[in-house]
Chains A and B, each alone.
Chain A
Amino acid sequence: MIFSRMLIYKFLWFFLPSITILTIVVIALYRSQVAGFDDLIALEDEKRLEIAARIIGDELQGLDEDLNYLLHLRSLQSWVEQGDNNSLLSLQAELKSFSTYYPFYDQIRVLDKNGLESVRVDRPANLPKVASSKDLLDKSKRYYTKALKSLDPGKIYLSPFDLNVERGVIEQPIKPMIRAGMAIYNRAGEFSGSLIVNYKGSNLLNELRSLNQEGKHQLWLLNQDGYWLIGPSAELEWGFMWDKKKDATFASEHQLVWENFMENGDAQGKDDTGVFQIVTIDSQKILPEVNNQRWYLVAFTPASYINTQNNATKKSLGSLYFLASFLLFFASGVISWKEALRRGYELQLEKSEQKHRSLLEGAPDPVVVFDQEGEVKFVNASFTEVFGFTNSELLGQSIAVFMPERIYSIVEKKIRKALSGATLNSMSSYKDLQLRRKDGSEVPIEMSLSTSSQDEGVLMTVIIRDVSESKKQKDEIIQLNRSLKKHAIELESTNKEMEAFCYSVSHDLRAPLRAIDGFSMIVLKDYGDKLDAKGKDRLERVRNGAQRMALLIDDLLTLSRITRAEMVKEELDFSVLVKDVEKDIRQLDEDRKIKCFIQPGMKAFGDAKLLTIAMTNLLSNAWKFTAKKDDATISVQSELINDQIIYSVKDNGAGFNMEYAEKLFGAFQRLHDESEFPGTGVGLATVQRVIIKHGGRVWAESEVGRGSTFYFTLDMDKNYEEESDLTG
């Protein structure tokens, strides 16, 4: 998804500018091609016009030479001076001969000073012919005759370029013609006549026409009024000769070009039909002795030809453009594909780098990254917090700012190793080090150091664990342990004292009791006759008291022994244990008929000796308190409730008031009269001591007169057990 979008983006980024540049280049190329073509046409036209002008010039030059040649013919001179028939005949012969070699003069004639033809040589297609005297005409009324009469010697008269007219009718096929002549003067310098040649224009025109290139370039010739002498078609030529064709002028057909030329002198012009180049030909500029006749040479290139050429350019440039576009498209595709891939990698790299950075940044432990020179490149938030620096105080600084000399040397060693390439990307841990805070105080730390090879060398990443807290805790634990040990020692000595106390109780308290009982007995026996009944009774009471106290002492000893006893817990067949206890009790009191139900298969995990003591007490109690029942029943059971075995000893004896249930398990607590149920009141306290030592709980339910049930558990809470193991 991201990749394709990036691809499109990259593609456009490459393709759009390059296609734009290509388009501009191609358009410019086209423009220059077109302009170049226009220039080429202009240049060619110029050349063509130059040639055309030279052709006209050459013809006029020739005309000049020929006229001067003819004028200086000896026969003409002698005819002018003498006017005799011989001179005329030789003039006729010479003119005829001339005409033979210069066929492009349609007629050559000599007029006398009155304008009458003296000699005329016609030049039809085959041979020249001298006109007979009867064919000679009066030309005195002709415009050229008039013009020649006043012409200075040496000057040449040149007629307009037009079509030959015979007897008022335009000769067909048309015969384009220029008449040129000179005035003839005799030696005395008097006007004696004139020499006139009819120059056939078709030659000149054909020569000019030969410069045409059909469909491409045309060369036109216009007279001074803008009529075509050479034009696009024969119909349009010589328009001035016919009334109905008076409008057929270049000026009317290409008005704008004509006007621009006439008014502004723009030699080059252009309209819908094509491009034009025009030059002016003035006869006087070619031959100074000639009166001026003006023509215009027009080079014309039709628009159709230019368009064809331009279209060809367009076509070739177009295909070039198409090909180049395709190549650009393809190249852009390839480049953008590669770019997108590369960018994709870069993005991925950036992303992963960012991820790593944010991982480090967010790490709860201080992290610092530095290069092989020890220059800090990165610290995370935790680092600045623990060490009290700001980011800018560290970045680019030496790690010596917070690293004491001793640790710096460790790090330096590691860098050297890494630079040698031995342990790249390995990690080492160090303990019991200190780094400095900004305020100079030292922080106890552990650190792990890892090196990684980068483009710019070796980078060290140090993850620091601030152990000041855990060190404090460790110190506290050591302190606690010490005091615990002290307590344990105290406890041990207390226990020893307790043991010594009990030992001495068991010995030293019993000895006086024995004396009291023993001597009372001896008095009774040896001196009984000296005592009355009351005295004997009192001594018996002394003995009873002593014996009872001995019992109390024994029970207390048992109690304290249980407290001190070392427990040996094991899997027990509880049913068997209880049965043995029952048997022992039954032996002591064989007269009692008691139904005793002991659930078979009961298991227990505990100390056999202690449990025997406890069960002895419980069963003895049951035995005792059912003494007044005829159908005394005792049952011992176990039951699994909520994963816990609850043992119960139930009797149907005297029971007790539940109000006093709390007092039940206290030492020397009795709920019955001694006379009723004898006992020391230590039994249940002993039971409780045993059960608590096992980690269990003991409680009782009872109803006066209906019996009691004593419940207990042995298994302690697992957690409690572990805890006690720890402290023990």
Chain B
Amino acid sequence: MKKKAILLVEDNPDDELLMLDALSENDIDSEVVVARNGVEALDYIFGEGKYMGRDVKDRPAIILLDLKLPKVDGLEVLRRIRQDPRTHLQPITILTSSNEEEDILKGYELGVNSYVRKPVDFDAFLQAAGQLGLYWLSLNEYVP
């Protein structure tokens, strides 16, 4: 069985590179699909636009969702995924620089599974990435 992919929604190329590095550092070899804005992320999820024809049922193991995104922001992406009956059970972790209470609350209200703040300290960052990979890709049972 083909390993499920990770969808990384991240507009900052530095953060993207660091995340990818951190994941490989933690020996996570799942496919990482990177969407650089909200629209791209939604296209991938719903098999539209650039990803036209992609099977919607082929859900990623986890979506690592940044909040501050061009075009459609992270919370809106979250809302649309939860709204759609095909995708509403999709595991999503918000991975963002913000630890604003408001963002956290809104995230959970919209049904996010987890909220992780990106540490500045790369050691901590590596640790976080490792734990996320371990948890969502091995420990956690996929949505059937």
Contacts and interface: CB of A to CB of B under 8 A. Distances in A.
Contacts, number: 63
Contacts of A692: none
Contact of B18 (A503, A507, A519): A519
Instruction: Give chain A's interface secondary structure class.
Output: helix
Given A511-B12, A550-B120, A550-B121, A518 B18 contact: yes
A347 interface: no
Interface stretch (B27-35, B49-57, B96-104): B96-104
Interface in A487-535: 502-504, 506-508, 510-515, 517-522
B120 A507 contact: no
Which of A502, A508, A518, A520 has its CB near the most chain B CB atoms (within 10 A)? A518
Contacts of A633: none
Contact of B120 (A502, A508, A522, A546): A546
B123 interface: yes
B96 A507 contact: yes
Contacts of B123: 521
A475 B15 CA distance: 59
Interface in B9-41: 12, 14-15, 18, 21
A511 B125 contact: no
A547 interface: yes
B109 to A, nearest CB: 18
B83 to A, nearest CB: 25
Nearest to B126: A521
Contacts of A546: 120
B100 A506 contact: yes
A550 B120 CA distance: 7
A547 B12 contact: no
B118 interface: yes
Given A507-B68, A515-B18, A518-B14, A547 B97 contact: no
Nearest to B103: A503
A362 to B, nearest CB: 65
Contacts of A508: 68, 97
Q: How large is the interface on B (under 10, 10 to 19, 20 to 34, 35 or more residues)?
A: 20 to 34
A522 B123 CA distance: 10
Interface in B50-101: 67-68, 96-101
Contact of B15 (A515, A520, A547): A515
Nearest to A515: B14
Interface residues of A, number: 23
B108 interface: no
B14 A512 contact: yes
A415 B129 CA distance: 92
Contact of B100 (A503, A522, A547): A503
B129 to A, nearest CB: 11
B100 A517 contact: no
Contacts of A513: 120
Contacts of A502: 100
Interface string B110-144: 00000000111111010000000000000000000
Nearest to B13: A515
A316 B119 CA distance: 142
Given A510-B120, A514-B14, A517-B122, A522 B21 contact: yes
Interface in A93-137: none
A522 B97 contact: no
Contact of A517 (B67, B99, B120): B120
Contacts of B67: 507
B122 A522 contact: yes
B121 A511 contact: no
A513 B121 CA distance: 9
Contacts of A512: 14
A514 B68 contact: no
A503 B98 CA distance: 7
Given A515-B15, A519-B18, A522-B21, A510 B121 contact: no
Contacts of B99: 506
A547 B124 CA distance: 11
Contact of B14 (A504, A507, A511, A547): A511
15 contacts: A504-B68, A508-B68, A510-B118, A511-B12, A511-B14, A514-B14, A514-B97, A515-B14, A515-B15, A517-B121, A518-B21, A522-B21, A522-B122, A547-B120, A547-B121
Interface of A: 502-504, 506-508, 510-515, 517-522, 543, 546-547, 550, 561
Given A507-B97, A561-B100, 4 more contacts: A510-B120, A517-B125, A522-B18, A547-B120
